[in-house]
A and B are shown apart, each in its own frame.
Chain A
Amino acid sequence: MPFNLLVLSCLAYVAVLFSVAFLAERRAAMGRIGWLRSPMIYTLSLSIYCTAWTFYGAVGYAARSGLEFVTIYLGPTLVFVGWWLLLRKLVAIGRQQRVTSIADLISSRFGKSNFLGVVVTLLAVVAATPYIALQLQSVTLSFGVFASGTPEGWALPDRDSTAIWVAGGLALFTILFGTRNLDAKEQHHGVVLAIAVEAVVKLVALLAVGVFVVWGLAGGPVELFQRIEASPIADWELQPGRWAGLLFVSGAAVICLPRMFQVMIVEDGEERHMARASWAFPLYLLLMSLFIVPIAVIGLERMPEGANPDMFMLTLPLAEGQGALAMLAFLGGFSSATSMVIVESIALATMVSNHVVMPIWLKLRPKAAMSGDVRRIVILSRRLAIVAVLTLGYLYYRLSGGSAALAAIGLIAFVGVAQVLPVLVGGLYWRGATKTGAAAGLVTGFAVWIYTLYLPSFGPGAALSVAVFEQGPGGIGWLRPQALFGVAGADPLLHSLVWSLALNTAAFCIVSLFTFPGPVERMQGVAFVNVFDAEGGGPQGWARGRAEPEALLVMTQRILGNEAALALFATEARTQGKDGYLPDATPDFVAGLERRLAGSVGAATAHAMISQIVGRATVSVEDLMAVANETAQIMEYSAQLETQREELTRTARQLREANEKLTQLSVQKDAFLSQISHELRTPMTSIRAFSEILTEGDLPPEMVANYGRIIHEEAIRLTRLLDDLLDLSVLENGSVQLNLGLANIQQLIDRALASASHTRPERVFVIHRDLPSENLFVRTDADRLVQVFINLISNARKYCDAAAPELKITVRQKSGRVSVDFADNGSGIPKQSQAIIFEKFARLTDQTRAGGAGLGLAICREVMANLGGTITYLPGQGGAAFRVMLPLRLEQKAA
């Protein structure tokens, strides 16, 4: 098979992946999630457990140590078959606490401690680096197999350049689809679907090679059975310690590996999906393992002495002249490697940005949470982290020379991530587990693993000197890395596994027993351990009423983006029975908001940011006890009483608001009456006075003309006032005749801007518009709509008090509705006035008497109601801002 054909099909495959991811993202963006979030896709996405290590390495493993390789897949099988024990709880917590990574889970459980987040992140990065290097190595090796076997005399391609191309391409894909959005709980629809496709490709490839080997080369299952009996691996040696140890460590790894945690909990944790995956994922693993032994046996039988058994998947079909099959196998291996690297780097990048970059950034610029664009920083740091992780993997590959057998590297990483397991399980089931205990356990396990397995894996004399290996550091014999405490002669992997986990668990438990958890820790402990008892409940840590909702909104906008933040606040306001965008900052709401933010930037960072606004980082233990007592008392009342009280409170709040509004209105009405009499009297007085003068006669003609003009102007002013009043009453009665037609928003705004420019023409306004987005045709009453626009623009011209006034007009279209935002950069409208500006005769200040009697916004509101739309005040936009919403197509009867 020509080598360039291989490269070409490889590129074509990558192009297909890109388009799959792109289409999935587009579909999700249009809100049609549907089967993108199905148990089937979920199960397939879990298959990133099977990396190139499985695809190529398992055959080599089987050729070297017989059936031992199945432990790597049997451990996860037990964990998934027993999902009711552990995974179900993990999924529930992941959903409730909006966990973004395994580091976030640990940090969140132990009082949102960032130190633990950093330790787990570090551990994950150290363990993943060789694993990523392994993937690059396997892709490079498989390219090498094709290149060396070609009759055209292709030289072996430069290994380093292959690896660097692969790493670069993966970084590009991951950045494109892994860091598109920040909100919605770290879900990446495109990536997940691409991975599901890759899962199918690698399964089909492995099965195809397997079927070819069993029926094409071995002559059927019965014949195969005899060949296995006759092969060099017919008599495998089971080492009981390794067998049990590997079962355990692979089971631990499937829970703790950052990439598995990402697809299992973060991307789409749902019990329904987990139930399906509980048997479907073990089935997938079974199918992946089914043909490993046959391929190894036939490979050993047919391939020349000394051939690398790790590459039998490719070399066997090639040697038998099955070019197409080899190509399929190559794509399978390529899929396994790429999907692992993509998800692993997303998971690691999330951890690095949430637990390392963001806390440092917040510490350096504590005020930045309110002013800077946090989203940009987070996304940028994630992109950089992805590049950094892949660069680390590439460097490890270069430095290690890619020589070690594939299986060894994978197992070292497994033991590393398994260090998280004691703390994870302890945190989920034991309320007494403390932060200090967790830190002690993690650091101990991490250190022992590094010393006894990671560093020795580079070989004697590389990272640790030969002397340390043989006599121990400084000649202390019982500290020899592979014979800790004098336990010599054990299998190095098993030795490290037992000691690291034993010391880890011991430190975790003993230190936990002797330390006292902080208040936040205790609350999180309850929320995690009793996750099924109180759905979303538990005592909340935020005191009532300290936070200013507008400040919370501004901060939320920086993280979730404008639209999402406004929608979130509006929903909350509605459930509290209030209008507008600003709910009361109840403890429940603040706690919920914190969890929502945690879904984007991690628990520790979200907690730190919220406490900047609420002004208090912790509650005291006494507070906690008070809350607990109160909760216990409340539980004594019947649930009915509870709901009734809630309803009463809500009604009372609504009544209070209505009452406030009425009082204000009555005051305003009085004010208006004097206002309107004033408005009517001023022109009347001048009309009367001048007409009296005129009737006296004997005036020069130019004075007559002048007085006549004044009378005329005053009469016009009167008429305009009466017109407005009349207009308003017609609109309010709903008896208005609408003149529907198609109109272009851009032209309407042009018209409105031209007309409004007569208001205070001496002020120079800078207008920001986005013309292409305004090019929208709506079916509505154009004249009425322009009236609203003119009013809003003139208001901005009248009342915007900025020295260099600006007006920003934004048009958006969303699900059949058009929204037009008008935002200026003045000082805005104070919160207490926001409720009344749409009432009749409401004029906040009299600083600029620019005509009109405060009817403008009231008319606007009535016009919009008649056009089937709304007009609302948008808080938190850095000035006065109004949003006009109208339907794209207004039907005749809508009014």
Chain B
Amino acid sequence: MKRARSPLFLKRGSYRKRRLRDGARMLPVFGLFLLLLPILWAPAETEATDTARDGLYLFAVWFGLVVVAALLAPGLAEETSGDEGEER
């Protein structure tokens, strides 16, 4: 019901906020993809050593997720604390 009454196009600020939320929703999906990626190259009992390299990769992805989440968090928190009404 609420949806129906909201305008079709938003102001620039509100538009940005909506996309920030979308980003927050996508982040874990990207993260999951990157963390499942090692399955593709499937480190197995082979001659090649890969623990150190794979470890570097995993921790890099991990740290990247932390940084992106930290960048998104202030915007999301600010948005939730108020102006739901301004968007409509």
Q: Do A and B truly interact?
A: yes
Interface residues of A (CB under 8 A from B): 66-67, 70, 74, 77-85, 88, 225, 228-231, 233-238, 240, 243-244, 247, 271-272, 275-276, 278-280, 282-283, 286, 289-290, 293, 533, 635
* A77-B62, A78-B31, A78-B32 known, 5 other contacts, Cβ within 8 Å: A234-B52, A235-B51, A272-B80, A278-B69, A279-B67
| Best-surrounded residue of B1, B67, B70 (most CB of chain A within 10 A) | B70
A78 contacts across to B, CB distance below 8 A: 28, 31-32, 35, 65
B63:A84 contact, CB within 8 angstroms: no
A228 contacts across to B, CB distance below 8 A: 51-52, 55
Interface residues of B (CB under 8 A from A): 1-2, 21, 24-25, 27-29, 31-32, 35-36, 38-39, 42-52, 54-55, 58-59, 62-63, 65-70, 72-74, 76-77, 80-81
The SS class assigned to the B binding surface is helix
Question: A67-B58, A79-B28 known; A271 and B51 CB under 8 Å?
Answer: no
Question: A243-B36, A271-B77 known; A282 and B69 CB under 8 Å?
Answer: yes
| Best-surrounded residue of A78, A234, A635 (most CB of chain B within 10 A) | A78
B46 contacts across to A, CB distance below 8 A: 235
> Measured between alpha carbons, how far is A88 from B28 in the docked complex, in Å?
14
**What is the CB-to-nearest-CB distance from A150 to chain B, in angstroms, rounded to a whole number?**
35
| Best-surrounded residue of B38, B59, B65, B74 (most CB of chain A within 10 A) | B65
A272:B77 contact, CB within 8 angstroms: yes
**What is the CB-to-nearest-CB distance from A254 to chain B, in angstroms, rounded to a whole number?**
13
| Best-surrounded residue of A84, A229, A290 (most CB of chain B within 10 A) | A84
> Measured between alpha carbons, how far is A234 from B53 in the docked complex, in Å?
10
B51:A233 contact, CB within 8 angstroms: yes
> Measured between alpha carbons, how far is A359 from B47 in the docked complex, in Å?
62
A82 contacts across to B, CB distance below 8 A: 24-25, 27-29, 31
**What is the CB-to-nearest-CB distance from A724 to chain B, in angstroms, rounded to a whole number?**
58
8 pairs from A and B in contact (CB 8 Å cutoff): A66-B51, A70-B58, A74-B35, A77-B66, A88-B80, A228-B52, A247-B36, A279-B70
Question: A81-B31, A84-B21 known; A282 and B62 CB under 8 Å?
Answer: yes
B21:A247 contact, CB within 8 angstroms: no
A234:B62 contact, CB within 8 angstroms: no
Question: A67-B58, A278-B73, A279-B69 known; A85 and B43 CB under 8 Å?
Answer: no
A235 contacts across to B, CB distance below 8 A: 43, 45-51
> Measured between alpha carbons, how far is A247 from B38 in the docked complex, in Å?
13
A289 contacts across to B, CB distance below 8 A: 59
A-B pairs with lowest CB-CB distance, top 4: A82-B28, A275-B77, A279-B69, A279-B70
B69:A80 contact, CB within 8 angstroms: yes
> Measured between alpha carbons, how far is A365 from B12 in the docked complex, in Å?
62
A234:B51 contact, CB within 8 angstroms: yes
> Measured between alpha carbons, how far is A533 from B6 in the docked complex, in Å?
13
A272 contacts across to B, CB distance below 8 A: 77, 80-81
B55:A84 contact, CB within 8 angstroms: no
B76 contacts across to A, CB distance below 8 A: 84, 275
B43 contact from A236, A244, A276, A635, Cβ within 8 A = A236
A290:B49 contact, CB within 8 angstroms: no
B35:A229 contact, CB within 8 angstroms: no
A236 contacts across to B, CB distance below 8 A: 43, 50-51, 54
Question: A228-B52, A228-B55, A276-B73 known; A240 and B39 CB under 8 Å?
Answer: yes
| Best-surrounded residue of A66, A82, A286 (most CB of chain B within 10 A) | A82
A238 contact from B2, B43, B52, B81, Cβ within 8 A = B43
A67 contact from B2, B51, B73, Cβ within 8 A = B51
B72 contacts across to A, CB distance below 8 A: 278
B32 contacts across to A, CB distance below 8 A: 78, 247
**What is the CB-to-nearest-CB distance from A64 to chain B, in angstroms, rounded to a whole number?**
13
B55:A74 contact, CB within 8 angstroms: no
B59:A290 contact, CB within 8 angstroms: yes
**What is the CB-to-nearest-CB distance from A501 to chain B, in angstroms, rounded to a whole number?**
17
B51:A81 contact, CB within 8 angstroms: no
> Measured between alpha carbons, how far is A275 from B21 in the docked complex, in Å?
12
**What is the CB-to-nearest-CB distance from A623 to chain B, in angstroms, rounded to a whole number?**
22
B28 contacts across to A, CB distance below 8 A: 78-79, 81-82, 85
> Measured between alpha carbons, how far is A83 from B21 in the docked complex, in Å?
11
A293 contacts across to B, CB distance below 8 A: 51, 55
B55:A67 contact, CB within 8 angstroms: yes
A243 contacts across to B, CB distance below 8 A: 36, 38-39
A237 contacts across to B, CB distance below 8 A: 43-45
> Measured between alpha carbons, how far is A258 from B74 in the docked complex, in Å?
28
A77:B65 contact, CB within 8 angstroms: yes
A286:B63 contact, CB within 8 angstroms: yes
B31:A77 contact, CB within 8 angstroms: yes
A278 contacts across to B, CB distance below 8 A: 69, 72-73
> Measured between alpha carbons, how far is A644 from B49 in the docked complex, in Å?
75
A74 contacts across to B, CB distance below 8 A: 35, 58, 62
> Measured between alpha carbons, how far is A230 from B77 in the docked complex, in Å?
46
> Measured between alpha carbons, how far is A84 from B23 in the docked complex, in Å?
10
> Measured between alpha carbons, how far is A77 from B42 in the docked complex, in Å?
22
Question: A236-B43, A247-B35, A275-B73 known; A67 and B49 CB under 8 Å?
Answer: no
